[in-house]
Amino acid sequence: MLKKAINIITVLLLITALNIHVCALEQEALSAASAVLYFPQENKILFEKNAYDRRSMASTTKIMTSLIALEQASPFIRTVITDEMVRVEGTSSGLRAGDEISLDDLVYCMLLESGNDAANAVALTLAPSYEDFAVMMNTRAAEIGMKDTCFVTPSGLDDENHYTTAYDMALLTAEALKNDFFVSICSEKKYTVDFHSSDKTVTLYNHNRLLDSYDGCIGVKTGFTKKSGRCLVSAAERNGTVLVAVTLNAGDDWNDHTKMLDYGFSLIAEKEIDCDFSSFSVPVTGGVSESVLIHGAERKVFVSDTEKEITRRICLEKFLYAPVKKGSIIGYAEYIAEGRVIEKIPLTAASDVEKTQHKNIFDRLGCLSDSW
């Protein structure tokens, strides 16, 4: 009987060990020289391999060029293509001098067909020179927190001083994915550009195979030069969770990204958070009620560790002046895990509180005479 029990325990231990082996992702399993898997919702790295090594990044550079273009006050402005814009080596999106095209269509040319001509066109439309546009790129990079990145070219063509890290590219991509227009473009598999100056059209095809092969893939950008090797930035969304994967100089990038994203989603769990605010209220001055109850929308969060403790912090106004309108924001609830705010819910007034109607001076005098 004891021997049988020992055998069962041994089998269970072997199964457990096997499951750990299956779930784990070793650096050696990837072909990339540098890689990172990033969970933007928690600002957390789920996997990394030389994530902070500086390397050239080829056409994944166009993520930044595209973001700057789409953040303009009017991304639909038109530009006329010049000889200088199309005088560039590498991938072309078929632009010719004299073509009139909108800024957003140039982004399609960059993110789908990886057109170096389109990147040049964006740069010289928004800045007097490529050097001035590089300043714009590096300024935006600093705002995002990309500390080990230097942009020189808008397209990603090789330059000794043009470099980034896998981690920085993940930060850039997470920022770009906040822009709905960017997401809609980089997730397109095919797009036809109409030129405003003629009947010319160009059909673009997205080079990102993961859009077809990986469930939930929403982009983002491929890249290649002899110096950089194969570079790839991808993003996938499942059940409201977005993961960003980056590889630099990878021999087998498609499989690298599949492995990383599969690994990441295996770690993510949906967790309910405490959204009961019925015991909280805020005092009201000068109202028909002395206080007002608060309301907060029910939410769930996605965390990378099902055992992780999530704490709640309630921040409310000390008091309110009447009138108070139902639905007006009077505070917020923060949900914190490992020292980071992973969710923030606005708290609102659950009902109206009207202002107290003070009696006029004659009513007050009448009250006084009655008391005499």
Q: Structure tokens of 78?
A: 């038109």
Residue whose C-alpha is closest to residue 303's, from 274, 338, 275, 333: 338
Catalytic-role residue among 114, 155, 228, 304: 114
DSSP tag of 354: P
Quote the distance between the C-alpha of residue 56 and its chain's center. Answer: 22
Catalytic-role residue among 49, 62, 221, 259: 62
- What's the half-sphere exposure (Cβ side, CA atoms, 13 Å) at 176? 34
Q: Are 81 and 116 contacting, i.e. CB atoms less than 8 angstroms apart? A: no
CA distance 116 to 108: 12
Provide the 3-class DSSP secondary structure of residue 367. helix
CA distance readout (Å), 168 to 55, 222, 223, 257? 11, 16, 16, 17
The radius of gyration computed from the CA coordinates of the chain, to the nearest angstrom, equals 28
Count the neighbouring beta carbons within 10 Å of the beta carbon of residue 355. Answer: 14
Catalytic-role residue among 34, 49, 56, 59: 59
Please confirm, yes or no, whether 114 is among the known catalytic residues.
Answer: yes
Phi, psi of 70 (to 5 degrees): -75, -15
CA distance readout (Å), 58 to 163, 198, 211, 217, 223? 9, 32, 20, 21, 5
Residues catalogued as catalytic: 59, 62, 114
